[in-house]
Every structure is written in structure tokens, then in C-alpha cells.
Amino acid sequence: MKLTVLGIGSASPQVGKNPSAFLVSFSNEHILIDCGEGTQYRLLEKSIKVSRIKTICISHLHGDHYFGLIGLLSSMNLSSRKEPMTLIGPEPLLDILNVQFVAANTSLGFELNFIKTDNSKSEMLFENKTFSIETIPLIHRVPCTGYKITEKEGRRHLIPEKLPENFPVAFINLLKDGEDVTDPLSQEVFKSLDYTRKGEPAKVFSYCSDTAYNPAIVPIIGASDLVYHEATFTKELEARAEKTQHSTAEQAAKIAEAAEVKKMILGHLSSRYKTTDRHFEEAEKVSDRVEMAIEGAVYKI
């Protein structure tokens, strides 16, 4: 699993800091988290195949987090996409999209499977063989939900030297899936634990979009391999952060320490800050788990 940072800006436009958008990638599938204005251009710049995006998660309905969605879906439609898309987000999102499609006399040529979020609780909203998506309740001026994406433990690795010669391929796949196999002729039992070793461990990325300081999320994101957390302000504007229901760099770092995450990256800085120096200086006093998110960077998880 890897994370591509497409946008770490906040509400006001900033040169070099695009609105919120993050891409979680597996071997042949992408999850897009938030879709600020211009996200599809960021995808083009990164040579990312949009056809591999099968799931889109929107945290909340402030424009810098979803104004690029209608354009992206429209472009997918123009390219004759047929594969269904899973869209996860606040309940009014689907109505907003439908108004736009009706006004443009547009019908999507692919199925849009919508799953609404409930920011009052954490719940598992989606799961397949590769990953699961769990929500993280956040505190903001409008209903806002973060996302915890867990890539499941990889298939078990075969220990080939232990197997008899010409062992059937079908049986090998069963062993890798953790199943024991019985030879129909000899009735010999081949136990998966004896002939395989553990696959790649599960990996966890947690996305904490716009939110006031919220220690209640610590048990949910605990021990994540990578966390993105907003840090709109620095400490001297803590009162403003509380009023607008955002976080400071210090508060985000406290969350990182309490949750014992492996790494936390900070973004969504207010446009009043011309550099990230003050945020980093403030955060590193609290935690050495924290660093500043870099626009365009790719993080291996």
C-alpha cells in the first residue's frame, strides 16, 4: 500500500498547495480520499490511471474537499467508463451531484454505489478481499468523517523446499490461502502452517480531515502505520482553531503520541503561513513521530 499526496492546501487557494486530495494505492486498485478542485489534473500530472480508482471517500462538504468531484466523474463518463464506482460520503453529497448532472442533461454510463457516512460513530463501511474502510468521527462545523483504511495481511508465502516434487498447483494456492490440503490418493494431510509462512502484515493508513482537537479518535487510529492529520494553525491561534473547529500542530502531535502511530504527516495549513517551519517546530517539541506532508510525495506504507 502507498499514499500519493495530491493536495495539502486549506480553503483559500495557494500556489503550490492544491486543495485536499489523497490517493491510496494497492497493486491494481486506487482509493481517492477527498477531491478538491483540480484533483483530476493532479492525477494526470502523476500519470495515474483514473480507471483504477474504484472507491472515492469524501470527508465533508466544504468545497476544498469535494469541488473537484463532479469534474472527475464527468471525465470518467466521457471516457466511457463502465465499471461501477463506490462513493462514500455525507448523505447530501448524492443530491448535490444529481442536481449538477440533471442541469447538464448528463446520465452516467456507470453505476454509482453510494454509501452514506454517519459522523456520530465509527463503523466499518466497506470491505473486500484486499482492504477495509472504517470511519473516524471528527469534530467540525459541518458533519465530517475521517477514514481508516486497512490493507489486509497478505497471502501466506510458500516454503517450496518442504513440498513433494510436482505438488499440484491448485493445492499450492489453497495452502497460500491458509487452508489445509488432503491428498485424495494417499490421504496425507498437508497443513498450511507447516508449508507456508506468514504473508505481509496488515497495513493501516488513517486520514483525519478537518477537525477540532479530538482525543476520542486515539483508540481508532492507534498504532496506524501512517496518519494524515490537519494542522491548520499554530499555537498562538489556538483560540481561532477552537472557534473554527480546526487543530493546531501541537494538538495534532499530541494525538500522534497518544495513539503511538508510526508516522503522522501534517497538512491543511492556513494560507497565512508562507512556510511550514513554525508548524514543524511546534509539533516536534511534542512528538518525534510527526513530519510535514509534502505536496506530490509518495509514502510507502
Kindly state the helix (H) or strand (E) to which residue 218 belongs, with its residue range: helix 218-221
pLDDT digits (tens, 9 = 90+) for 72-89: 999 999 999 999 999 999
Taking alpha carbons only, the member of 18, 10, 5, 1 closest to residue 46 is 5
Annotation says 118 is catalytic: no
In the block, cell 501466506 appears at 156
Global pTM reads: 0.90
Domains and CATH numbers, the chain: 2-154+200-300 (3.60.15.10), 157-197 (no CATH)
The four Cα atoms 171, 176, 181, 184 give a dihedral, to 10 degrees, of 0
Cell of 69: 468531484
d(CA 201, CA 91): 34
Cell of 133: 474502510
In order along its 301 residues, the chain shows pLDDT tens digits of: 999 999 999 988 788 889 999 999 998 899 999 999 999 999 999 999 999 999 999 999 999 999 999 999 999 999 999 999 999 999 999 999 999 999 999 999 999 999 999 999 999 999 998 999 999 999 999 999 999 999 998 888 889 888 888 888 888 888 888 889 998 878 889 899 988 988 888 999 999 999 999 999 999 999 899 999 999 999 999 999 999 999 999 999 999 999 999 999 999 999 999 999 999 999 999 999 999 999 999 999 9
Cell of 226: 501512517
From the list 34, 64, 210, 225, the catalytic residue is 64
Dihedrals φ, ψ of 59, to 5°?
Answer: -75, -45
What order of strands is seen across the sheet that includes strand 124-127? Answer: 124-127, 131-137, 145-151, 203-208, 226-230, 264-267, 290-292
